[in-house]
Amino acid sequence: MKGIYCIDDDRLITTVLKFQLSNALKDPTFHVEVENETKVLWEKMTQDHAEGVEPIVCIVDFQMPDMQGDEFIRIVKERFPEVRVIMLSGNSNALLVSDLEEEGLLDFYVTKPWDKDDLLGKVNLCLPLNLKFM
């Protein structure tokens, strides 16, 4: 199993992301998980990994009440260095985003509201060659 994880404090955003990704990723080897709290998503990621789900993509909002997106990305990349990261945000700090890119911690930045085809294209670019869906 391969995991795609999304974190955003807005439940509407996570609902739409789950719908769009699940419809695009019809392969049953994909597991799409969305959450509104970083601590809860982190627990799900580590539990899933212990059960054999390999996290391959993480979509992260920048501004969340419990932890900034850049902090969460650093935690994720420390534990899962191979995971590819997309920041999806309508309000971010350009300097922090630039730092993440320079450190090789961020693969793509997508602004809200996002274009579905653009986001799915970027997710597809993050997938291993044998798992492309587009």
**Domain over 2-128 is classified CATH 3.40.50.10800:** no
Give per-residue pLDDT as tens, 8-24. 999 999 999 999 999 88
Say if residues 24 and 121 touch (Cβ distance below 8 Å): no
Work out whether strand 84-89 and strand 2-7 pair parallel, antiparallel, or are unpaired: unpaired
Domain coordinates in residue numbering, the chain: 2-128
Give per-residue pLDDT as tens, 27-85. 788 899 999 999 999 999 999 999 999 999 999 998 888 898 999 999 999 999 999 99
Average pLDDT of span 94-100: 76
pTM: 0.92
pLDDT over threshold 60, residue 134: no
The 3 state secondary structure assigned to the chain is CEEEEEECCCHHHHHHHHHHHHHHCCCCCEEEEEECCHHHHHHHHHHHHHCCCEEEEEEECCCCCCCCHHHHHHHHHHHCCCCEEEEEECCCCHHHHHHHHHCCCCCEEEECCCCHHHHHHHHHHHCCHHHCCC
Q: From CA 38, how far away is CA 7, in angstroms rounded?
A: 7
Is 93 buried (19+), middle (13-18) or exposed (0-12) by CB count in 10 A? middle
Q: From CA 115, how far away is CA 50, in angstroms rounded?
A: 34
